Chains A and B, each alone.
Chain A
Amino acid sequence: MADVMLEIKKINVYFGVIRALRDVSFYVEKGEVVALIGANGAGKTTTLHTITGLLKPASGSIFLGGVDITKTPAHKIVSMGMAHVPEGRRVFSLLTVEDNLRLGAYTRKDKKEIAESMEEVFTSFPRLKERRSQTAGTLSGGEQQMLAMGRALMSKPSILLMDEPSMGLSPLFVDEIFSIIEKIKKQGTTVLLVEQNANKALSIADHAYVLETGSIAMEGKASELLNDERVRKAYLGA
């Protein structure tokens, strides 16, 4: 654990009396892509929401770059270098593509640097540039996913949390989204990826954790999990 970017220590999260997460612990090393896989309802989204402060754990703690962020309100997390691409994209459908991207840079001050980041996003996602003055609600699902990713990148995060980026997309778009995630990794950004498409996720990840009914059931190198009998049976359909 030389260079830990994000560390989750024994978090427990409740929805009323139901315990959604049980003593979940894992860590993400700097520069890696870590995948969190599991079935529907295993607690993947809950885990991400707890990390970015949209939910508060009943116990346990979360460290970002060694700093305890367990009690930090959600709106202060992004300026600490962590961005979150939420499940279902959640772009602001009534605002234009450009305004969505600008909101991604809400906590940044330097106008010139923001303009540079905008150009970088447009280089990675040329389609967004074409549609910059359209309202986000008029984009296709794949384009909205690109916008949600671009919007998160506008905060210049050192770690990016992505929740089901391939959900509901055509196979062509899925491939494109995953090649962009690899590009993001190459640029030095750490990625925590939640995916139901375990095959795809494990093939680009360095490490992976398997979440089952609210607790970590397995962990290891992504390449090893990809060949693990249990994982193959339960999540890869082979």
Chain B
Amino acid sequence: MKFLSQLISGISLGSIYALIALGYTMVYGIAKMLNFAHGDVIMVGAFVVYTACVKGGMNPVLGVLLAIVFCTVLGVCIERLAYKPLRQAASLAVLITAIGVSYLLQNLALLIFKSDTKQFSSVVMIKPVTVAGLTVSGEIIATIIVSVVIMVALTLFVNKTKPGKAMRAVSEDKGAAQLMGINVNGIISLTFAIGSALAAIAGALMCSTYPALSPYTGAMPGIKAFVAAVFGGIGSIPGAMVGGVLLGVIENLSKGYISSQLSDAIVFAVLILVLLIKPTGIMGKKMTEKV
């Protein structure tokens, strides 16, 4: 029984990592950059929900929608202002800029909300469910359902729709995509918009399950989600999903059965092992050289 409950909350935590990892992996796939400010967009999303719902008494659903809109705009603006001018620059310059944006967001949050941890109240209105003596919280149920719906929708979007196919074309060959008439900058903006919207949802779900919010709330889940994306094969959408869920399950089971202090160490050790055996990650594509 303990195992089952650990497993379910691991899947729930992993779904949140997966939602964040999708943003990392899509941006990497399209823009070939690591957006280290992505984790902090989660924090911004959570603060928007906090301000609107906990402080302002707004309906939780509306609060989450507001956070989605806010983060989408924020993500597109970050790309336009910070990363787009560096499109031709060395990747190291872009990486350092991303870290800079991350600190900027954290410090803006510090300035506005101060450093003390805020008590977040759940946006989930589902009652806990008890099946055969096992109680599952409404937050866990909501997280898993929302994540599954998003992952299915995103997979359909990328594989079946015209903008989705254009995204895959840009990810494979930007020059050839332009020759098709695809506006590469537009596709990059779209990618940041989707990734940031997912980060807002992840932020709301995460702070509902683990109700503590500070300007640094996004940092650790951001790094874990990055690990999940690499774990699954960076650039691969199914990889981010599998990597995220696996990471959450491994983390939770280590917490439950080995040591809660060592759980992060175990997670990173597993990453190192996976990369030693399969450097491209679980579902990573082998890069074939073009002749």
Contacts and interface: CB of A to CB of B under 8 A. Distances in A.
Interface string B174-213: 0111111111100000000000000000000000000000
Interface string B67-79: 0000000000000
B165 interface: yes
Contact of A103 (B169, B285, B291): B169
A75 B169 CA distance: 13
Nearest to A90: B176
A74 B184 CA distance: 10
Contacts of A78: 179-181
In terms of DSSP, what is the predominant structure of the interface of chain B? helix
Interface residues of A, number: 31
Output the residue of A53, A92, A94, A95 with the most chain B CB within 10 A: A92
B2 interface: no
B166 interface: yes
Given A99-B165, A102-B165, A106-B162, A151 B172 contact: no
A168 interface: yes
Nearest to B183: A75
A73 B169 CA distance: 18
A79 B177 CA distance: 13
Contacts of B183: 73, 75
B172 A106 contact: no
Contact of A94 (B168, B180, B182, B184): B168
Contacts of B168: 92, 94-95
A155 interface: yes
Contacts of B178: 53-54, 73-75
B55 interface: no
A86 B179 contact: yes
Interface string A86-105: 10101111110001001110
Interface of B: 162, 165-166, 168-169, 172-173, 175-184, 285, 288, 290-291
Interface of A: 52-54, 73-79, 83-84, 86, 88, 90-95, 99, 102-104, 106-107, 137, 151-152, 155, 168
Given A94-B168, A103-B177, A168-B291, 19 more contacts: A52-B179, A74-B178, A75-B181, A75-B183, A76-B181, A77-B179, A78-B181, A79-B181, A92-B173, A92-B176, A93-B172, A94-B172, A95-B169, A95-B172, A99-B165, A102-B162, A103-B182, A106-B181, A151-B180
